[in-house]
Structure 1
């Protein structure tokens, strides 16, 4: 790919938009960011908070531990943490530094102030509004489509931001429709690594660190440690365990950042950590690792483009296919082998649903990586699920689109039923 071409520049921009650090599950952390933002508008600590959220935000924030809150879960805890301790400029690391006194204040605020959470009537999967009051003064912030996209901000009657909202998770971001697997591989082969090093080096550093913390600490149900406790020291097991351990830590309040992909830390971990494990085991060069990570990240983003940020479809499935493609690329796989790997992976694991962020995400990640590695081994042995098997088409891009249609359109009723079950 020509490095001065508009397409090349867009690919670089997509990676820079997607590969950003976040501490904690991105949905509650986004709410903490919005609450910190509304407090700044109000120029005081509010007496009362009204939080209206779309259904998928309720689903993804209900059960996950909010970091730096002494183990609290949920939307109200995230919002109050943002009000008390948020540093708005840090965006998805908004509550990365919280003192002991502030943790005490978060608990006291929840016990003594009014924090009301309700379901927002909206066609958007990612949409919330926070209204804060202090005496006779009020402030409002609305964030939609992605985690830091402020579309409305006002203090009393003064409006600072009022952007039109499209029913499109990609609005406000670089056009992802240019992504396709053949061009992704061309980009990875020809990219100037100095254009990528900052975001990919940070991904390696942060995601490896939280994976190691998950394996050494005591988080959640310890899926990563459980996998390593078996009498199997194979590279596949180590890769699955390392990815699961990162989620073990992240879903259970670990106060360490993750570099996210497609708005998700779990997807960021899944897309990167197994590739890193394979590169280390095979003594791959730094250049080989960076190019393989670019493949894994971009293929994950490509799949998620038609699915959307949030849905009833588990994002680990997309990232599992992405990481398998990255491993295949690392080992010299060409377009045909990578194509077969992705198709095989999606044929195996595309039925996994998302029922919110929580401890069991680590187990789903382990399964998604296993499906990816199985798909890769099938491809190495010249085996590929044929066109017409379920959603498998005769070509890769149509197969990816079929999965996108299933997840975005076909699973809307599934999403509503999951939310109903979780809230009743």
Structure 2
């Protein structure tokens, strides 16, 4: 396979790995998934549960409703749901099919079974260790680095599955180092849509459905409704509102699945819904929309690769840049327009903190979408941020690398302080 064929197949594989369905916020769902695997390994409903989780997991599970639990929140609720009603084969849709009887059993189990949560001693940003007991028998499951990456399954001292792992590595996933903005633009222009049509079509269907659900009903802070009720009915405001509404629904117990990007439903929403709304407004062909979504998703993934799955840096910012790039593409933009849109967008909102998954994520998404759109509008009007303006360097790849260094290394202490404030 030559280098061009290898890059093409890599980009296809990345989209297929990343654009997968998840019900609910992905961190509590990862706990439910691990708990379901632990119960399956144990072969019985546990009478004692210990969950050791890294600070970022605790941060992202603390304030969101776990779907299909009757509006229960928290790590204990996610674990109880996975143990009582989880189907491990469904991975991030592990609790997508829960009966009313099981909902009641989840609540009863949470109230009667000792479920202990404590911070993990490891240095891994993404780390979940679930140990369950039934009398003297036990099972242990560990998930590291990303939501479905089970690195250890153990029962009564016998290791049934073990995977070697390193910090910041996505073991088992396709190499993201081949992603570049130039390569992404070329791929978006030339990809045979039959290679990605099913995953992009599913993203449109799922993410627009939950956006409509968020606007038509009451979830969280109802950011989408607030935007539309207090601002002009422009395409920019509709794009912001639809994305925010989808997030509000997802953060607050909606039982519709979302197609995620970089392990995040909010990023999957932000990188897709605004692009879809702009395509409607501009009467864009289906083929052009699909290519724009290929681009926005890959731009988001490229940025997040250097940052990591979890960080003190709000992932919606990266996805807002992605959607801005997709919107630039819908307007006929090529590499130059898209590169400047990304750099401008990064300069506007970088430094927005992630203080866990919750209702305010919807508001941050609205701002991130606006930053992406403003980044494109700046370029259209001959304006740009240039190398030396803050963290902006000459060249889009250098600026993306700067953001990765800022988020991954520079904001480590910020992350610790956020977690301390949230849990003290």
TM over 0.5: yes
Asked if 1:59 is matched to 2:62, the reply is: no
Q: Which residue of 2 aligns with 1:147?
A: 147
- The equivalent of 2:313 in structure 1 is 313
Contact 2:20 2:259 in 1 (8 A): yes
Task: For 2:170 and 2:390, locate their aligned partners in 1 and report how far apart those are by CA, in whole Å.
Answer: 28
CA distance in structure 1 between the partners assigned to 2:244 and 2:235 by the alignment = 14
Q: Distance in 1 between matches of 2:332 and 2:208?
A: 23
Secondary structure of 1:5 counterpart: helix
Counterpart residue number, 2:77: 77
Aligned match of 1:291: 291
Which residue matches 1:277? 277
Q: After the TM superposition, which residues 5-404 of structure 1 pair with which residues of structure 2 at under 5 Å, given as runs?
A: 5-404=5-404
What is the TM-score normalised by the length of structure 1? 0.99
Separation in structure 1 between the aligned mates of residue 363 and residue 231 of structure 2, nearest angstrom: 19
Unaligned runs of 5+ in 2: none
Whether contact under 8 Å (1:343, 1:392) holds in the other structure is yes
What secondary structure is seen at the aligned counterpart in 2 of 1:258?
A: strand
Q: Secondary structure at the match of 1:204?
A: helix
List runs of 5+ in structure 1 lacking aligned partners: none
Structure 2 residue aligned with 1:411: 411
Please give the alpha-carbon distance, in whole angstroms, between the structure 1 residues aligned to 2:197 and 2:237: 28
Q: How many residues were matched structurally?
A: 423
Q: Deviations over 1:54-87 (max 9, x none)?
A: 1100000000110011111111100000000001
Deviation at 1:418, TM superposition (A): 0.1
Distance 2:4 2:410 in 1: 39
Shift of 1:231: 4.3
Contact 2:231–2:237 under 8 Å retained in 1: no
Verify the 8 A CA contact 1:170 1:176 in the aligned structure 2. Answer: no
Shift in Å, 1:3 = 10
1:169 deviates by 3.6
Q: Secondary structure at the match of 1:229?
A: helix
Give 1:4 shift: 7.1
Q: Displacement of 1:15 after TM fit?
A: 0.5
> Conserved in 2, the CA contact under 8 Å of 1:385 and 1:392?
yes
> Shift of residue 318 of structure 1?
0.2
TM value normalised by structure 2: 0.99
CA distance in 1 between partners of 2:231 and 2:273 (Å): 22
Partners in 1 of 2:150 and 2:234 — Cα distance? Answer: 46
